[in-house]
Amino acid sequence: MGDEQDVFLSPEVPNTQLVCSENTPVDTLDGYDDDESMWGWLYPTQNISFKPLAMQKDEYTFGRSPKCDVVFNDGCVCDNLLQVISKNHFKIFKETLSGIEAIHLMDLSMNGTFVNNNKIGKGNKVILKNKDEIALANLHNKVYVFIDTSFNKHWIPPEMKEIYSVIGPLGSGAYGEVKLAQNKINEKYVAIKKIQKREGKEGKTYNEVRILQNLKHPCVVTMEDVFDTSDSLYIVMEYVSGGELAKRIREVTRLSDGEAKCIFYQLVLALQYL
């Protein structure tokens, strides 16, 4: 089967999902969703070779100084980026405002820290929100994506939390939403589709599950597990990095002949199988 599957492999497509790629080294996220003291994750982009940071302390400092909580050095950052990172570049901390807890990022650097392409400026701070992007010295030097765990804590039932850690949203549609998650046992990334049960529509939902369970093809996303609760159905799917094809085409304007032929060939093979 190994030789046969090589036929279906497409040219490498840059990952358009900001949260992580399949090659991102990660720690086992066991217990993160269930730990009430954890208030956020910092997920690295491909510009750095860090592992995701589970945020539980009230404050974290970032920079080249060995005294920082997260130290940037030549082992995890390319030379060009390292040269523009300050000894104390920025910090992220919790602060209570009028009884409401908020997450802040303060810029400590001369070269600047950017949040969602906006330069903060030394001594200034901004409130961090879910999926905010952090860049250093230049808006293109994105190093982290902040994930607010309050968005994911109660998205899946307890029995699923024992196996999966939810990271963040991938998409949504008329019948449900899809989030990226990680299997705590094997550290594999998966996509979990949550479908709210609708009175009179249960048959259609279960029919989708039965169809997906029987699909086994290199060009068709595989269903790995299913969880059934009183009000929702959770379908655990293979995670395919790279984003949607339509978005990829819009980003590059046009594909090369080789890329287009390969993608079209895969689509035809998948349709033929279905």
Binding residues for ATP, by number, are: 194
Query: Token digits for 237?
Result: 């799917």
Task: Point out the annotated binding site.
Answer: 194
Sign of the CA dihedral running 181, 182, 188, 194 = negative
